[in-house]
Homo-oligomer: A and B are copies of this chain.
Amino acid sequence: MDLIARIRSRDVRAIARALTLVENGDEPFLAALDAGYAHIPHPERVGITGPPGAGKSTLTSSIIKNLRRQGRRVGVVAVDPSSPFSGGALLGDRLRMTEHALDEDVFVRSMAARGRFGGLAIGSHDACDVLALAAFDPVIVETVGVGQSEVDIARLADTTVVVLTPAAGDSVQALKAGIMEIADVVAINKADREGSEHLEEDIKEALELRAHQPGPLWLPPVVRTVATTDEGVDELVNAIAQHRTFLLSQGALPEVRAARSVARLTDLAGEALLRALRTGTRAKPLFERLCSQVRQGTISPRAAVNELLTSLKL
């Protein structure tokens, strides 16, 4: 039986193997996955993001517990941004999810976000598809919100949960800076700590600014949680379900998915075009000559790119 068929039959080792192939960018496997593109199911996709230390992994683990009681099979892709600074801490976090390690209806996989093009996006998309093939629903994508990744996660998920804590750093300024743009649901985790009421007020104020925007109104619910004791997690899971109901009632899911596919196309195209500079019949010799001229300082990088574009006649 081929690997795709084994994934479909929910073979845990096949799923693990497939995710490794995805992580390595294995061309034959990606082509096989792609050949069955039209038949890949579309499970609910939930994104969970927030600053380092917000308790995202613990919260995800609580969410899994809740969803398991509902009998759902839960797949999780936990994306580590490739930061040498945060690497260690994140790996520590992942360990907290091992409580589900013996449950065949839960699959948690950590992946490093690599590459310049859409970092998070490319491998994570394929990983989500593998989990979808294995009949996991929902598929949860968890990532620390740094740099580009929180925007990527918003594109990857139908429903994006932003996790904040009453701690230094999650200031009002930060909230207004754009995070509210991507939140469909906000979780205030570690809500038993001092400052959580104040944070809740700030968040609600920021969200009301958004309520004045045109379009069908979804006011993101703000849910207080204590992930370590599962407090508030029922409410959080409900809030996620409500957002899905909202999307369905608006007929918005096809558009969400279409936009996601186009974003994926753009990421893949960027990656492929850069690769073409190293391997393409026309592009490679041209790019090599330009690199050499740029190295020698006889031409500026910007002038070289202009020449590249002119010569390639795109």
A257 nearest CB neighbor, chain B only? B297
Quick check: B276 and A290 within 8 Å, CB to CB?
no
Contact residues on A (Cβ < 8 Å of other chain), bracket = 35 or more
Contact A295 B81 (CB under 8 A): no
Instruction: Please judge, given known A-B contacts A34-B302, A87-B178, A88-B173, whether A261 and B295 are in contact too, CB under 8 Å.
Output: yes
B-contact 0/1 string along A10-39, CB 8 Å cutoff: 000000000000000000001100100110
Query: How many angstroms between the C-alpha atoms of A294 and B148 in the bound complex?
Result: 24
- Asked if B274 contacts A84 (CB within 8 A), the reply is no
Determine, out of A111-119, A132-140, A214-222, A243-251, the stretch whose residues face the partner at the interface. A111-119
Contacts of A88 in B (CB 8 A): 169, 171-175, 177
> A3 an interface residue at 8 Å Cβ cutoff?
no
Residue of B nearest to A284 (CB): B314
Q: Which residues of B contact A30 (CB under 8 A)?
A: 302
Known pairs A84-B145, A269-B277 / 14 extra A-B pairs, C-beta < 8 Å: A31-B302, A34-B302, A83-B147, A84-B177, A84-B182, A87-B174, A87-B177, A88-B171, A258-B294, A268-B301, A269-B287, A276-B309, A282-B314, A312-B312
A positions within 8 Å CB-CB of B: 30-31, 34, 37-38, 50-52, 81-89, 91-92, 113, 116-119, 145-150, 168-175, 177-179, 181-182, 258, 261-262, 264-266, 268-270, 272-274, 276-277, 280-283, 287, 290-291, 294-297, 300-305, 308-309, 312-314
